[in-house]
Amino acid sequence: MKIVAIEPKNVRTHVFSAFKLPRLAMPLLGTILRDKGHEVKVFLEELGSVDEGAVKDADLVLVSTITSTAPRAYEMADRFRNLYGKTVVMGGVHVSFVPDEAIQHADFVIRGEGDETIVELVEAIEAGGPFDHILGLTWRRNGEVVHNPPRKGVTDLDSLPIPDFSLIPGVNPKKMRIYPMMTSRGCPHACIFCSVAPMFGRRYRFRDKALLLEELDRIEKGQHVFFYDDNFTAHRPRTKELLEGMIRQGFKGSWSAQVRIDIYKDKELLELMKRSNCFLVYVGIESINPETLKTYKKGLTYQEIYEGVKVLHKHGIRIHGMFVIGADTDTPETIQATLDFARDVRLDSAQ
């Protein structure tokens, strides 16, 4: 089957467009399907335009989306179905939470992790059905929307292939300025605004350290690795072992990742981060208002946030601060205080 997999861009600037972070879903699913014998082309709109000719020639079109790219994703899905008569499958975080909305623009919607669902779905499409046995799938039966039971996330992350970015026309993985990697999935924290735990579960699942080091050994000097883990330092001993391995094998690039600010309390970890060429960390600060932090169930205090920023900067680690504005406990004054804080502590960037 000829398959085109697309990650739409956002029409406005956000963190993935400003820093040109290639998203992982489509290259990973594309690699899985390629390994099953399908002919796959992947397009990440942040890196380049979608080849309409490839879409016209495809038997199946996959579209992945987060909330900020949903309008563009729906627009593309509608056009491919109406103009070219294509079968469209949508997946990603946004549509996983609003499948009734997404199914208005697609033939099938994959909810949750799609690594296994997409394989079963493509096989069923080729066979002309049935679809009612595929966990994590939303579809139509005789015009009626059907939500099949949910699917648990992949238990063994080592069973997943290393994404092949050469599936993206014109992209040479060795020349990618930013190389994305995933070392874990899941998060046990209970921040009420966050989609990670509902999407990927509250139990951490990890890739084998040896496999990660093998992938990292391919990185060329001058390339930057972005670890897509939602909390890269969640399991400190494991993170330290990985960083020690990177140092031992002479990791040639630089890296960034999402972390909690309370890593500032672990001096050994910070030293390893610096020695392994950590360039920047993405930190969910959210707010400095104590009541808002409690509402969010963040598990941090203003003092920890302030001290954490100071200590990380002292170790030469840049900080991209991420904030969630507009809780019921917020006021114009607390919002302004949060903005002032971001400026006063000299965050390197923020969203």
Domains and CATH numbers, the chain: 2-147 (3.40.50.280), 177-350 (3.20.20.70)
Q: Which of these, 179, 165, 176, lies nearest to 30 by C-alpha position? A: 165
Q: Residue type at 338?
A: T
Measured between alpha carbons, how far is 351 from 342 in angstroms, rounded to an integer? 10
Q: What is the pTM of this model?
A: 0.91
Measured between alpha carbons, how far is 315 from 238 in angstroms, rounded to an integer? 21
Backbone angles phi, psi at 209, to 5 degrees: -60, -40
Instruction: Kindly state the DSSP code that residue 208 receives in the 8-state scheme.
Output: -
Query: Parallel, antiparallel, or unpaired: how do β-strands 108-110 and 88-91 relate?
Result: parallel
Token output for 54:
């490839």
Q: What is the largest CA-CA distance in the chain?
A: 62
Q: Which of these, 317, 300, 298, lies nearest to 309 by C-alpha position? A: 317
Q: What is the pLDDT along the chain (351 residues), one digit of tens a residue?
A: 999 999 998 877 665 556 667 789 999 999 999 999 999 999 999 888 999 999 999 999 999 999 999 999 999 999 999 999 999 999 999 999 999 999 999 999 999 999 999 999 999 999 999 999 999 999 999 999 999 999 999 999 999 999 999 999 888 888 888 999 999 998 877 787 877 777 787 788 999 999 999 999 988 888 999 999 989 998 999 999 999 999 999 998 999 999 999 999 999 999 999 999 999 999 999 999 999 999 988 888 999 999 999 999 999 999 999 999 889 999 999 999 999 999 999 999 988
Quickly count helices (H) and strands (E) in the chain. 14, 15
- Beta-bridge partners for 235: none
Residue matched to tokens 């238990």:
155
Token output for 11:
């029409």
CA 164 to chain centre: 16
CA angle, residues 224, 238, 260, in degrees to nearest 5: 65
Instruction: Kindly state the DSSP code that residue 69 receives in the 8-state scheme.
Output: G
Measured between alpha carbons, how far is 113 from 98 in angstroms, rounded to an integer? 15
Provide the 3-class DSSP secondary structure of residue 270: helix
Measured between alpha carbons, how far is 340 from 130 in angstroms, rounded to an integer? 57
Exposed, middle or buried by CB within 10 Å (0-12, 13-18, 19+), for 346?
exposed
Per-residue pLDDT reduced to its tens digit, 133-155: 999 999 999 999 999 999 999 99
